[in-house]
Structure 1
Amino acid sequence: MNTAVAPKVQIPDVAGQITYAMRSMGVAPIPRNYQLFYEAYIGSNPALTRELAALGGQVTQAELDALGAQHFTHSPARVFDDAHTRISGELDGLLRILRQEQNSLESYTRLLGETHKRITSKSNASVELIENAIELLSQATGDTMAHGERTVENVVQRSQEMDQVRKELDEYKRIANTDSLTRLSNRRAFDDRLAAIFDNSSMRPVTALLLCDIDNFKKINDTYGHPVGDKVLATVASVIRSNVRRDIFVARTGGEEFALIIDGNTPEEVTGIAERIRRTLETTPFKNSRTRVNYGPVTVSIGICMASNAEDAGELYSKTDIALYGAKNAGRNCTILYQDGMQKDFTKSWLIYKT
């Protein structure tokens, strides 16, 4: 193993690159615009990326809003605002119910106290008084219990309503973190999962990041069109998912790039997993069942880096990308494990507004 000191790698600043792209196009730095550029940057929606690039160097807010309305059926800000409004309404209603219950119990307590005084007063002791007191207490107790039952029912109903809002938010989060084409996790979910690796230092020696990139994918799109390219992406995603354990995190992180985060395995075991994926894809037929047109062979290049070789998520991604570039440079359709001293002799352009 080469033990030379690795050169300092440049850690991608995703937020900075997106902000720079927006500033270069004269776009206002507001949340809904950032969402558009983020989705275009990560490449999970190729149509959005193409349409945003087609707007050119100067774009109006109306054009951006029209693009957002076309591609985002639910704005995250609106979804959470609606949820906040609904939960606030349910909580207000719940507080009103509890205040009414408190007032009812206070009235009942006062009645008990007054009746107790009358009964225990020797000057008012009589059978008629006691009978009246018992009748009054029976009625008040019954009313209080009925009111309490209604309160319980209302509280349960309000709680169910809030639980429904929570379930809807959970479902929205799942959808927001899922790539619509491949049904894998998307770049947003990947960024969160990648950062979480460094929350537990003891797991880093047995945690790995894999970047898997389809070889010559542009040629597939150019030759057969984007619909075929989309089918290839979906098939590759299915093959990857079916060849790894259920607990392994798999995401589509860009146009034709996939990422896997594997916990609890040695570098040799991780390399074995990567090779199983690569060999399976290498032998998977990519044909049109109707026309019998063969779109293959479809192969992938894979880069691997163990988390123990990086100080943070950005460095882990950069070093894995270096290994991936090494696999491409070695002729494609192979797996490279990052080693100290590896270098990447090119700079990837992240300016999404350039064609």
Structure 2
Amino acid sequence: MTSAVAHKAQASDIATQIMHAMRSMGVAAIPRNYQLFYEAYIGTNPALTRELSLFALRAPRQEELDALAASHLGHNGAALVERAQSRLQGELDALLTLLRQEHASLETYNRLLGETASRISAKSTLSVDLLRNVIDILAAATDETLANGEKTAEGVAHHSQEMEEVRRELDEYKRIANTDSLTRLANRRAFDERLAAIYDEPMQLPVTALVLADIDNFKRINDTHGHPVGDKILASVGAIIRSSLARDMFVARTGGEEFAVILEHKTPEEVMAICERIRRALESRPFRNSRTGVDYGPVTASIGFAMGSQAADPGELYVRSDIALYCAKHGGKNRTVLFEDGMRKEYSGKGWLIYQQ
């Protein structure tokens, strides 16, 4: 099975699980509900997952689901797309009407030219009055046709601008849909797409790495200080990771307290150096409440990574990076580990991984 086929099969399996969960809860299988359940499934928004689980004993009403989406996703994506599609369809219809009118105007003008040519050809002699009449008719028809053409050009320009605005709205929706609302990093959806694209360029695999970083003892932080504090720490960790990387490096929050970085054109030694820079930045950063002075203790992260050439497809690369992360956790935490083949024996895998094999 090729990597592209494997990726599609895995994505299809996720979709099947989400649709099954929606059906079992009596939820309508419409795009905006699927998006809500997808976000809950991948775990990037723990609060959403918790609130959605409260409906396990009864079917939620659509307005309740829409309220959850507005609260946790920060936008009504389906409504935005529907509105944009409606506007786009309206602009296309108006543009087609203009073009049809222009086509009809040109046909009328061409028919007039043909009829005039026939009248002239039928006359053996041409009088001054006939020529003046013909010239007047053609001049008026030409002026009208040119005026219609100008109106059509203005209309086309106007509707083109409107369609460009719709395109910008859709681009903005795509950006929002691919952004984690808590950390403002790329989310799991964007990460899935980027990870799959790694294997589109086989020659780059030896210098491409997938890095997974997981906050150490995060459950204890949540249990001790509460989820609002945990959310603030997640946002801070995301900002520290982002600031430790070049602007063109891809970083995402992939679920819960896990982050992913995709590094390109880097040797394993360079990847290790970047990971260590992230790790040291986190362990040296104080995490305390500036208002109350409460110290939340040191926040560290375990990091694991694998090179693209160490795996046959995106799924295997994810698993091997996660194996390295597992070894970093079980080797004492707050450390960076590069995947090696001998690590496989100790690894059992996480059940929630999208790329689980």
Q: Same fold (TM over 0.5)?
A: yes
Cα separation, 1, equivalents of 2:128 and 2:18: 90
Following the alignment from structure 1 to structure 2, what is the Cα–Cα distance between the partners of residues 166 and 194?
26
In 1, Cα distance between equivalents of 2:20 and 2:155: 52
Q: Which stretches in structure 1 are left out of the alignment for 5+ residues?
A: 1-11
CA contact (8 A) 1:90 1:158 kept: yes
Q: In the TM superposition, what is the alpha-carbon distance from 1:55 to its structure 2 partner?
A: 3.0
Counterpart Cα distance in 1 of 2:17 and 2:143:
70
- Please state how far the C-alpha of 1:79 moved relative to its aligned partner: 3.6
Q: Is the 8 A contact 1:209 1:260 kept in 2?
A: yes
AA paired with 1:274? C
Q: Which residue of 2 aligns with 1:329?
A: 330
Amino acid in the other structure paired with 1:279? R
| Secondary structure class of the residue paired with 1:222 | helix
User: For residue 350 of structure 2, what is the amino acid of its counterpart?
Assistant: K
Residue pairs, 1:219-298, within 5 angstroms: 219-298=220-299
Report the 3-state secondary structure (helix = DSSP H, G, I; strand = E; otherwise coil) of the residue aligned with 2:343. Answer: coil
**Which amino acid is 1:283 matched to?**
S
**Would you say 1:42 and 2:42 are equivalent positions?**
yes
Question: What's the counterpart of residue 178 of structure 2?
Answer: 177
Q: What is the aligned residue count?
A: 339
One-letter amino acid of the counterpart of residue 168, structure 2: K
- Is the CA contact (8 Å cut-off) linking 2:303 and 2:328 kept in structure 1? yes
RMSD, aligned α-carbons: 2.4
In the TM superposition, what is the alpha-carbon distance from 1:39 to its structure 2 partner?
A: 0.8
1:109-165 superposed Cα distances (whole Å, 9 cap, x missing partner): 122222234445543511111122222222111111111100001111111111111
Paired residues of 2:250 and 2:263 also in contact (CA < 8 A): yes
2:69 match? 71
Is the deviation greater in 17-26 or in 87-96?
17-26
Taking the TM superposition and a 5 Å limit, the aligned residue runs for 1:110-149 are 110-149=111-150
Whether the aligned pair in 1 keeps the contact of 2:33 and 2:65 (CA below 8 Å) is: no
After superposing on structure 2, the runs of 4+ consecutive aligned residues of structure 1 that deviate more than 6 Å are none
TM-score (norm 2): 0.87
The 3 A distance-change label for structure 1 pair 50 and 14 is farther
CA–CA separation in structure 2 for the residues paired with 1:290 and 1:154: 58
* Structure with bigger RCO (C-alpha 8 Å, 6+ apart): 1
| 1:94 corresponds to | 95
Q: Work out whether residues 178 and 185 of structure 1, in 8 Å CA contact, stay in contact via their aligned partners in 2.
A: yes
Q: Residues 104 and 274 from structure 1, CA distance in 2 versus in 1: closer, same or farther, beyond 3 angstroms? A: same
Q: Distance in 2 between matches of 1:276 and 1:232?
A: 19
Distance 1:238 1:260 in 2: 13
**Distance in 1 between residues matched to 2:234 and 2:100, nearest whole Å:** 57
1:210 aligned residue: 211
Please give the alpha-carbon distance, in whole angstroms, between the structure 2 residues aligned to 1:38 and 1:117: 70
TM-score (norm 1): 0.88
Matches within 5 A, 1:163-202: 163-202=164-203
- In 2, the alpha carbon distance for the partners of 1:242 and 1:271 equals 17
**C-alpha offsets along residues 269-306 of structure 1, whole Å, 9 cap, x if unaligned?**
00110000001111112122222222231111001011
Alpha-carbon distance in 2 for matches of 1:292, 1:15: 48
Offset at 1:86?
2.4
Partner Cα separation in structure 2 for residue 51 and residue 204 of structure 1: 41
Distance between the aligned counterparts of 1:168 and 1:24, measured in 2?
Answer: 31
Q: Is the 8 A contact 1:301 1:335 kept in 2?
A: yes
| Matches of 2:178 and 2:151, distance apart in 1 | 41
Q: In the superposition, relative to structure 1, how do residues 39 and 246 fare at CA in structure 2: closer, same or farther (>3 Å)? A: same
- Separation in structure 1 between the aligned mates of residue 75 and residue 178 of structure 2, nearest angstrom: 13
Question: Is residue 18–residue 41 contact of structure 1 (8 Å, CA) maintained in 2?
Answer: no
Whether contact under 8 Å (1:178, 1:184) holds in the other structure is yes
Distance 2:268 2:84 in 1: 44
- Aligned pairs for 1:303-322 (under 5 A) are 303-322=304-323
Instruction: Give the stretch that moved more between structures: 78-87 or 235-244.
Output: 78-87
Cα distance, 1:84–1:67 mapped onto 2, change above 3 Å: closer
Aligned equivalents of 1:318, 1:254: Cα separation in 2: 15
- Check the 8 A contact 2:210/2:260 in 1, yes or no: yes
Percent of aligned positions that are identical? 59
Equivalent position of 1:7 in the other structure:
none
CA distance in structure 2 between the aligned counterparts of 1:114 and 1:95, rounded to whole angstroms: 28
Which stretch shifts more, 213-222 or 35-44? 35-44
Match of 1:6 in 2: none
Q: Is the 8 A contact 1:243 1:276 kept in 2?
A: yes
